Amino acid sequence: MSGMPPRTSNEEYARIVRQGYRNLLRSLPKPLSDEDRRMIRDALDLAAEAHRHQVRMTGEPYITHPIAVAQICAEEIGLGPTAVACALLHDVVEDTSVSLEMIRERFGERVALIVEGLTKLDEEKDDKYAGERQAINLTHVMRAMLVDVRVILIKMADRLHNLRTIKGMPPEKQQRIVIETDSIYTPLAHRLGLYNIKTEFQDIYLKIIHPEKYREIADKLAQTKRSREQYIRDFIRPIEEALHKQLKGIKFRILGRPKSIYSIWNKMCQKEVAFEDIYDLFAIRIILDVPFEEERMACWMVYAIVTSIYQNIPARQKDWITTPKANGYESLHTSVIGPGGKYVEVQIRTERMNDIAERGYAAHWKYKGLKLLNRNENTFEKWFDRIREVLENNTASAKEIMVAFEDEILEEEVHVLTPKGESRFLKEGATALDFAFDIHSDIGCTCRIIRVNGAVVPFNYVLKNGDQVSVETDKNARPTPDWLKYVTTSKAKNRIRAALKKERFKMAADGLEILERKVQRLFNCSAEPYVEALAKWYGFDQRLEFLVAIALQQVDLLRLKEIRLENGKIEPIVQLNASPDAQKPQEPTTTVKPNAAPTDIIINDEPGHLYSYVLASCCTPLPGDAIFAYITSRENVAKIHRESCPNATYLKRNYSYRIFPARWGNVAQFHFVAAIAVKGIDQGPGTIQRLSDHISSMGINIRSFSIAGDRGYFSGRIELIVASNAQLQQVTKEIRKLKFVTSVERIE
């Protein structure tokens, strides 16, 4: 939006509004009641008045945007009059002086509820917080979606029109919007069954992020359009003739279409081939008009006819009629070898299935009255239940909820069965232990044995479509930190973390009791006033970690004899007649057992092992470096990056909702690999030996050493085993003292 004055006259503005109203009425299903007509007219009048002096970045009157969004809702998604009215009003509360109370009084509670769900929260101007706003706003919208699903469908239409008119925005903003769309709205459109919208999202993403690739594929498709259309006509002709003969009066239609530009590009990347080597550029869809009861038999009959004409490729057959996708998608897919040896994908479905495939949830409600047998008629209701469960996790931040949506709810899914034959959908890549937690948290936490198709499997067994899974429990079983490595779903990870945290607090209580007894015996006072001070004296940043370490017998409590507790303070005891060195204050240390699991990194104020973290290879952080955690989208683990990492700016700008604060904990007993680049004057034989000996004399192990000389100079890369950034800095400082060394730098 822009603050520029209106560029249209009153007459032209009235014409735009009038034409928009007529187009909307034509797009809505008939008959339309007088009440619905009045509601749409009132909504359009209010929006037109409220947005009268606002102009889009494209230079058009702003009212063209809500009209276009309403048109998409009616024509492309298939929503009704109420949703159209809400689409017209979706920006008035956020961008104009119209209040939500005015909407409620004029249009009623339901319209006000949907408009409220579509209204963004207040936005900060500083782009630094864009990711945080994105997380909060998406959480806000998803909560509203549970009240009325039309909120997210209108939101999709809003995003689609913004992308269609994205050229009016600065290039940086274009990239930010399409990246956000690709990570959130595209998979959400897929999950809601809005395939046409998903495809358009993907094509626009490719056009903005990889414009050269987009133009290259678009040009080649344009050059081959005539020959491709002729090929599809030749391919369809014998199928059409056979269907007319054998279907005995059943109505059908056949559509031919090329693959989308994005899907072609994606296949080129995955298979690492050129455009000319992509064989399955063609796809046809056969749509049957038959009663619900005859759908399955009719689809398989058409399949038999097609495969009797063209050679079938069994490995590429997918039956989503017997087992629909989690978003309600039903269709029978196969690929055959057409004339000239070209692969052609054939999709077989009914008008009902096509309606759901094109319009997703917006069409799904029309068929809720049909008995879908084992066709999983409650797929959307189950998905909403999972969203509700994520949102009801009150301890989760907006960032954590955003990650849960992206990693679990928006992922492709695997379909498995319980022992009683009940369908369960989990994210693709889910494990047997994920299944146990999906059934119920208590079953997951007390899981002892899991069987898949009757055979005992390990907890990290990756589930496949059609697996039948059963779980045996033991009331004495408890989760261990290793379980976090065996699960992929956010639900399972959160439940395991909660159980481990509960166990940790219990251990801390035991540690406090041990400390209390020791302090009472030595000092005849309560330990409670001194716990924080004692934790710092022993080298712990947090009270909880200190008390847990005591419970694990990782703290030498005999060292309490070295101090005096008075008035809430700790004072070291200075022994008389002791040597000067003995009178120096001792550095606080901890005694850690070799097999202990120390809190080596703290993520989001929690022990790092609760997030299954790894150190990022792009910047190899060391203790002492300023760090942050990035929660990955696929592996769902925390990658620890240095604040100075070359990738830090990109990650924080585009995925700040995945960024969590992190700091180093107790890592004294760990060692890390760090690389340095050394340059200097080649003094002939012995130069390398002198350099390596100098490093070894400091007690530093060399992991690898590569060096090359040229014209009297040398340059080398050395990987060292160090304990911290401070130790690495000391090593580089000592190496610089060698007269033949000209520079030493840490390699990023």
Structure tokens at 636: 């769902």
- φ, ψ for residue 296 (rounded to 5)? -65, -45
Q: Annotated catalytic, 510?
A: no
Query: By the 8 A CB rule, do 239 and 306 touch?
Result: yes
pLDDT averaged over the chain? 83
CA distance linking residue 720 with residue 705, whole number of Å: 9
Integer CA distances (angstroms), 125 to 65, 128, 129, 304, in order: 23, 9, 8, 60
Structure tokens at 23: 């187009």
Strands lying side by side in the sheet with 701-710 = 701-710, 713-722, 672-681, 741-746
Q: Which residues contact 132 (CB under 8 A, 6 or more apart)?
A: 398, 399, 656, 657
- What would the mean pLDDT of 403-432 be, rounded to a whole number? 82
Q: What pLDDT sits at residue 374?
A: 42
Query: By the 8 A CB rule, do 692 and 702 touch?
Result: yes
Q: Which of 179-183, 470-474, 664-668 has the least mean pLDDT? A: 664-668
Please report, for the chain, how many H helices and E strands are present, in that order: 29, 23
CA distance linking residue 148 with residue 144, whole number of Å: 6
3-state secondary structure 151-207: HHHHHHHHHHHHHHCHHHCCHHHHHHHHHHHHHHHHHHHHHCCCHHHHHHHHHHHHH
- What would the mean pLDDT of 325-344 be, rounded to a whole number? 86
Q: Is the pLDDT of residue 558 over 80?
A: yes
CA distance linking residue 468 with residue 416, whole number of Å: 6
Q: Is the pLDDT of residue 350 over 60?
A: yes
| pLDDT band for position 395 (cuts 50, 70, 90) | low
CA distance linking residue 429 with residue 464, whole number of Å: 8
Q: Write the single-letter amino acid at 32.
A: L
- What would the mean pLDDT of 357-367 be, rounded to a whole number? 71
Q: Is the pLDDT of residue 257 over 50?
A: yes
Pick the closest to residue 467 from 432, 513, 492 (CA basis).
432
Report percent pLDDT > 70 for the chain: 88
| β partners of residue 424 | 416
Packing angle, helices 490-523 and 379-391, rounded to 10: 20
Query: By the 8 A CB rule, do 347 and 284 touch?
Result: yes
Q: Which CB contacts under 8 angstroms, 24+ apart, belong to 229-237? A: 229/256, 231/282, 231/338, 231/339, 231/340, 231/342, 232/256, 232/282, 232/284, 234/339, 235/282, 235/284, 235/338, 235/339, 235/344, 236/284
Higher per-residue pLDDT: 449 or 384: 449
Q: Annotated catalytic, 319?
A: no
Query: By the 8 A CB rule, do 228 and 282 touch?
Result: yes
Integer CA distances (angstroms), 407 to 319, 546, 631, in order: 26, 34, 10
**Which position among 36, 60, 75, 95 bears the catalytic label?**
95
Q: Is the pLDDT of residue 413 over 50?
A: yes
Q: What pLDDT sits at residue 575?
A: 46
Query: By the 8 A CB rule, do 351 and 286 touch?
Result: no
| pLDDT band for position 739 (cuts 50, 70, 90) | confident
**Which position among 75, 94, 377, 510 bears the catalytic label?**
94
Q: Which residues contact 149 (CB under 8 A, 6 or more apart)?
A: 361, 380, 384
Higher per-residue pLDDT: 43 or 280: 43
pLDDT digits (tens, 9 = 90+) for 314-333: 888 889 888 787 777 889 99
Domains by residue range for the chain, with CATH: 10-213 (1.10.3210.10), 219-367 (3.30.460.10), 497-583 (no CATH), 601-664 (no CATH), 672-746 (3.30.70.260)
Higher per-residue pLDDT: 685 or 396: 685
- What would the mean pLDDT of 527-531 be, rounded to a whole number? 88
Burial degree of 248 (CB within 10 A; 0-12, 13-18, 19+): exposed
Structure tokens at 635: 């592996």
Q: What pLDDT sits at residue 445?
A: 92
Higher per-residue pLDDT: 6 or 190: 190
Q: Which CB contacts under 8 angstroms, 24+ apart, belong to 80-83? A: 80/28, 80/29, 81/28, 81/32, 81/36, 81/39, 81/40, 82/39, 82/110, 82/111, 82/114, 82/150, 83/114, 83/150, 83/153, 83/154
| pLDDT band for position 165 (cuts 50, 70, 90) | very high
| pLDDT band for position 130 (cuts 50, 70, 90) | low
CA distance linking residue 346 with residue 243, whole number of Å: 14
Q: What pLDDT sits at residue 131?
A: 60
pLDDT digits (tens, 9 = 90+) for 443-481: 999 998 999 999 999 999 999 988 999 999 988 888 888
| pLDDT band for position 635 (cuts 50, 70, 90) | low
Burial per residue of 344-376, b for 16 or more beta-carbon CB atoms within 10 angstroms, e otherwise? bbbbbbbebbbbbbbbbbbbbeeeeeeeeeebb
0.85 surpassed by pTM: no
Q: What pLDDT sits at residue 667?
A: 57
pLDDT digits (tens, 9 = 90+) for 698-726: 778 888 888 888 777 888 899 888 877 88
Q: Is the pLDDT of residue 33 over 70?
A: yes
The winner for highest mean pLDDT among 17-21, 396-400, 536-540 is 17-21
The winner for highest mean pLDDT among 82-96, 187-201, 379-393, 618-632 is 82-96
CA distance linking residue 239 with residue 309, whole number of Å: 7
Structure tokens at 321: 């009629």
Residue listed under structure tokens 């498709």: 221
Query: By the 8 A CB rule, do 519 and 530 touch?
Result: yes
Higher per-residue pLDDT: 485 or 111: 111
Residue listed under structure tokens 């120390």: 598
The winner for highest mean pLDDT among 329-338, 351-360, 633-642, 654-663 is 329-338
Q: Is the pLDDT of residue 93 over 60?
A: yes
Report percent pLDDT > 90 for the chain: 30
pLDDT digits (tens, 9 = 90+) for 210-247: 999 999 999 988 888 888 888 889 999 999 999 999 98
- What would the mean pLDDT of 574-600 be, rounded to a whole number? 41
CA distance linking residue 44 with residue 68, whole number of Å: 12
pLDDT digits (tens, 9 = 90+) for 593-614: 333 334 578 888 777 777 778 8
